[in-house]
Structures are given as structure tokens and as C-alpha cells.
Chain A
Amino acid sequence: GDSVTQMEGPVTLSEEAFLTINCTYTATGYPSLFWYVQYPGEGLQLLLKATKADDKGSNKGFEATYRKETTSFHLEKGSVQVSDSAVYFCALTRPSGGSYIPTFGRGTSLIVHP
């Protein structure tokens, strides 16, 4: 079955540091890939997505490139802020009977210190 593997956290960085959160997936066909972010006490917010190989999703300074050859979708940001502290979830979807039920990774906690 489909699966998503994320690096375990927490990831602890100083403000303005470079961020990479690794995500690899296993799925047949051509899934769409997503990054969601969850701030404390809130639900998941869509951060970015990519729907085909070599697509780059980007939002709020975050980027991720759909790499089919390495089945990866690593999240990067050039300069993190304290406000980026949250849990980040990598996910994939494939069509199944008209539905797109995502498969999520376990989440990676990011802590950014001033």
C-alpha cells in the first residue's frame, strides 16, 4: 500500500537558518504530493502541493520539488522564523473510486529559536 516516510523530529534551528525536512513516499502510479502545516492547537493547513514529476510547489518561502526518480518531496526554506515553529506533514493522494484520501507521514516538529 501507499506510505509516506518523514524524518523524525524535533528539528531545532536558530532563526534565519536553512531548513530541510525530508520526505519519501511509496505509491504506484503518479500521486499528488502535499505539505501541510499544523500550528499548536489548530488543524492542518495546506502549505504547498505538486501534482506531477519535476513540479515545484512553493508558498510563504517554503519550496518542495516532486522527484519521481528518488520518490521524494523534501521541504526547504532558506531562512526560518520563530513563527514557522509547527508540525509539518508530508502527504500523498491517488485517485480511488472518485476519492482522494491522503496518506500522511507521521509529522516532523520544527522548533525555531530566536
Chain B
Amino acid sequence: KAGVTQTPRYLIKTRGQQVTLSCSPISGHRSVSWYQQTPGQGLQFLFEYFSETQRNKGNFPGRFSGRQFSNSRSEMNVSTLELGDSALYLCASSFTPLAGGQKTDTQYFGPGTRLTVL
């Protein structure tokens, strides 16, 4: 099975611009989560999507948004970029079965998108 894929792998933007990052989960995984990783703050949870709905949200400003499509692929968008948004953005997927099945608590991560804001 192919792993979680993220595109692009590297991105350079300037302050004030906006950016869209893409994530394709492992086939069959319907939950997608996004994280921001920086040297200063470590790994911080952004949001989680399941069945095209945001199910959980971390403590980030409204400039950070996301969505999930019917095929479980997800995108996150950051508007009005700031220097402090420079980070590695990680996507993770997990398997959530249909009703009655056993849930899994393991997340599988993609390679990340390295965003640099100049």
C-alpha cells in the first residue's frame, strides 16, 4: 500500500501571500490530520478531517483552514502568510472503520511540506 503523500515537498512564499498544501492519505483511511512542526514549538495539532467534516481543531488562528474531499484527500490553506508560519507541515492519516468496527489509534505520517516564508 502506498503511504501518505504530500505535495509540494518544498515551498517558498513571501509575507502576505497565501498557500495551499495537499495530502493524499493511505488508501482506505478516512481520517486526515494536519500538524505544524517548528524547532521552537515542536509538533502542534492544526485540525482533523473525517468524512469531509472538520472533527477537531487545534489552537491556530483562522488564517489556517482546511478541507477534505470525498476521496479523503485533504488540503490545508494558510492565508496572509507571516514569517512565523515557516515550518514543516505534516499530514497524517488513520483508519476509521464503518460503524461497529474496531477503531485504530495509530496515525501514519507523510514526508511533510517544508514551507519557508520570506
Binds B, one of A14-22, A59-67, A70-78, A91-99: A91-99
Q: A97 to B55, Cβ gap below 8 A?
A: yes
- On chain A, the number of residues with a Cβ less than 8 Å from chain B's Cβ atoms is 24
- On chain B, the number of residues with a Cβ less than 8 Å from chain A's Cβ atoms is 25
Q: Say whether A56 faces chain B, with CB atoms less than 8 Å apart.
A: no
Taking CB atoms, residues of chain B closer than 8 Å to A36 are 109
- How many contacts A-B (CB < 8 Å)? 55
Q: Say whether B94 faces chain A, with CB atoms less than 8 Å apart.
A: yes
How far is A31 from B42 in the complex, measured between Cα atoms in Å?
Answer: 21
Residues 60 to 118 of chain B near chain A (Cβ within 8 Å): 90, 92, 94, 96, 103-112
Could you tell me the distance in whole angstroms from the C-beta of A90 to the nearest C-beta in chain B?
Answer: 11
Known contacts A42-B111, A97-B56; can you find 12 more A-B pairs with CB under 8 A? A36-B109, A42-B112, A44-B109, A45-B109, A46-B108, A89-B43, A93-B105, A99-B31, A100-B94, A100-B105, A106-B42, A107-B43
